[in-house]
Structure 1
Amino acid sequence: MDVLGYGLAIAIGLLLSLLGGGGSILTVPVLVYVFHLPPTLATAYSLLIVGAASLVGSVDYLRRGLASPKTALFFSFPSFAMVFLSRKYLVPMMPEVLFRGDGWELTKNLFMMILFALLMVLSAQSMIRGRKEKIDTGEGIRRQLNYPLIFVEGLLVGTLTGFVGVGGGFLIIPVLANFVRLPMKLAVGTSLLIIAINSCIGFLGDLGQHRMDWEFLGRFTSLVLVGVVFGTGLSRRVPGHTLKPAFGWFTLVMGTGILIKELLIS
């Protein structure tokens, strides 16, 4: 099973650099279902793994002018503050058993996985049914951006991503593409910048909360970065208008699979 898990690590990096998200969508299930880590620890590991991969992947997009640092900063400032506060205070305050009924209980871990999957399904629908892709990727679009709206959206996304403990590309990409209305490839590059900032800050909030296996993290992250290199090269050949529905369907399948696993199979 370890061989399968490490192979999937390469796929995580490829998807993250190609789609600007999806890294956490695979990372958390791989760590939970393949390496059998508790969801709370898996989400903490995911923040570091996805954050490092996003940082490396964003470099090429910046070189090609397919990332908006100003948008990333406006989005990230409120977002990483909420990520840090959520991971530092909200998640540790939650009781291990949230609800106990007749022969059934809703644990903290189960609740986090269900919420994670539901957010994936909702964000997938917005991408599949999203608006028509823009062609212009230049400064004209950047000048039209509503930065106060981006700030508010950063607050909301930061709270949600901090709570479920993921980089948040599966939420950030729909916001940038459908509400901020960035073209898909510009949204991908900007998302990678935001994920890198959010994930690293969120991971700082987890330090001291868990015992970290740094050797395992190093191996897994190194393989993810190999995937990032391949995905970055592939992104130059794939047209932007095909990425949006592909991201949506991938997210929908993964979210539905987690719901089935947690609610029907477990």
Structure 2
Amino acid sequence: MDFLPYLTLAIGAFVGVLMGLTGAGGGILSVPLLVFLLHLPMSEAGPIALTAITVSAFAGAVIGFKAKALRYKAAMLMAIFGLVLSPAGLWLAQKVPNTPLLILFSLVLMYVSIRMLLQVARNLSGKPLPQIKSPPCQLDSSIGKLIWTVPCARALMFSGATAGFLSGLLGVGGGFILVPALNKFTDLPMKSIVATSLGVLAIVSAGGAFISLASGTLNTAIAIPFACGSLLGLLLGKVLERKISGPRIQQIFAVFTLIIAVSLMIKAINH
């Protein structure tokens, strides 16, 4: 009996639960788990992860849209530039050897995990974030929409392009770029930041997954059960979020991510 589809479904569900509990950044663990547990090369794991992120992020974006938290104009602008750069990342991922990609991914994971640990420590200590200056994208509270300016559009375009390139190159959704960027460049509440980020992720990841499918680099036998498991896990994570969410969950996730990053680096060096 072939247990691969069930193992793939279980891994996807685990990633989905993490996404539901921790927000947009949970999908970053898709690639390392596929590399470790299914022994896939980075170039194959990336498109599979993008497929799962597409399905899960779309579900989250729909929930955000219904709650009127999704800033769809900002999401579309960022997604357009993300879609432009995503094919370049996908192309480069097929050209670069597996070991350098593993090292780069482990460094990205280390950055994300350490940044999250510092943020959680600050939240638990009750220290407010220092306010240096007003962000370029201001929310008009009277109509609930962003006030568009050239600096605002430029900041969002650059953020979307960066997330798109890394999405194609490493198979990550880019939530670890988009959420901090929206937090820095806008004064949107966190609910809107996460919903808008998920909207961008859904579009950019879908573009990358479609290109991979069209070029024959997407393993659908693994991608389909992994995406289904991710969606089920996301919905379960959203239910669990009401009961066990909080800074401690972020802290556990960050430590787990750091362990994965170090393990990935060791695997790359010894490969």
Normalised-by-shorter TM-score class: 0.7 to 0.9
CA deviation map 1:102-137 (0-9, x unaligned): xxxxxx111112111212222334444458479xxx
Tell me if structure 2 keeps the 8 A contact 1:69–1:190: yes
Match of 1:60 among 60, 63, 75: 63
- What does residue 91 of structure 1 align with? 93
CA distance in 2, matches of 1:139, 1:245: 34
Superposed CA RMSD in Å reads: 3.1
- What does residue 35 of structure 1 align with? 38
Matching of residue 162 in structure 1 with residue 165 in structure 2: no
Matching of residue 74 in structure 1 with residue 72 in structure 2: no
CA distance in 2, matches of 1:55, 1:185: 16
CA distance in 2, matches of 1:218, 1:112: 24
Structure 2 counterpart SS, 1:166: coil
CA deviation map 1:3-35 (0-9, x unaligned): 555323212112223333334322112222211
- CA shift at 1:176, angstroms? 2.4
- CA shift at 1:247, angstroms? 5.9
- What does residue 193 of structure 2 align with? 187
**Quick one: which amino acid aligns to residue 104 of structure 2?**
L
- CA shift at 1:199, angstroms? 0.6
Tell me if structure 2 keeps the 8 A contact 1:9–1:227: yes
CA distance in 2, matches of 1:235, 1:64: 17
- CA shift at 1:198, angstroms? 0.9
CA distance in 2, matches of 1:7, 1:187: 29
CA distance in 2, matches of 1:133, 1:73: 29
How many residue pairs match? The answer is 248
**Quick one: which amino acid aligns to residue 149 of structure 1?**
A
- CA shift at 1:260, angstroms? 3.2
Tell me if structure 2 keeps the 8 A contact 1:25–1:254: no
Tell me if structure 2 keeps the 8 A contact 1:184–1:244: no
CA distance in 2, matches of 1:7, 1:169: 22
- CA shift at 1:238, angstroms? 6.4
Tell me if structure 1 keeps the 8 A contact 2:53–2:173: yes
Tell me if structure 1 keeps the 8 A contact 2:93–2:101: no
CA distance in 2, matches of 1:176, 1:235: 22
- CA shift at 1:50, angstroms? 1.3
- What does residue 125 of structure 2 align with? none
1:119-130 matches, cutoff 5 A: 119-130=108-119
- CA shift at 1:239, angstroms? 6.6
**Quick one: which amino acid aligns to residue 113 of structure 2?**
A
Which runs of 5 or more residues in structure 2 are unaligned? 123-127, 131-138
- What does residue 25 of structure 1 align with? 28
Which runs of 5 or more residues in structure 1 are unaligned? 96-107
**Quick one: which amino acid aligns to residue 207 of structure 1?**
L
- What does residue 115 of structure 1 align with? 104
CA distance in 1, matches of 2:250, 2:265: 23
- What does residue 252 of structure 1 align with? 258
CA distance in 2, matches of 1:153, 1:160: 11
Q: Which moved more, 1:189-198 or 1:169-178?
A: 169-178
Tell me if structure 1 keeps the 8 A contact 2:167–2:205: no
Tell me if structure 2 keeps the 8 A contact 1:14–1:231: yes
Structure 2 counterpart SS, 1:151: helix
Name the CA shift for 1:257/1:188 in 2 (closer, same or farther; >3 Å): farther
Tell me if structure 2 keeps the 8 A contact 1:18–1:234: yes
Matching of residue 225 in structure 1 with residue 231 in structure 2: yes
**Quick one: which amino acid aligns to residue 111 of structure 1?**
P
Match of 1:47 among 40, 43, 50: 50
Name the CA shift for 1:243/1:150 in 2 (closer, same or farther; >3 Å): farther
Matching of residue 177 in structure 1 with residue 166 in structure 2: no
- What does residue 196 of structure 1 align with? 202
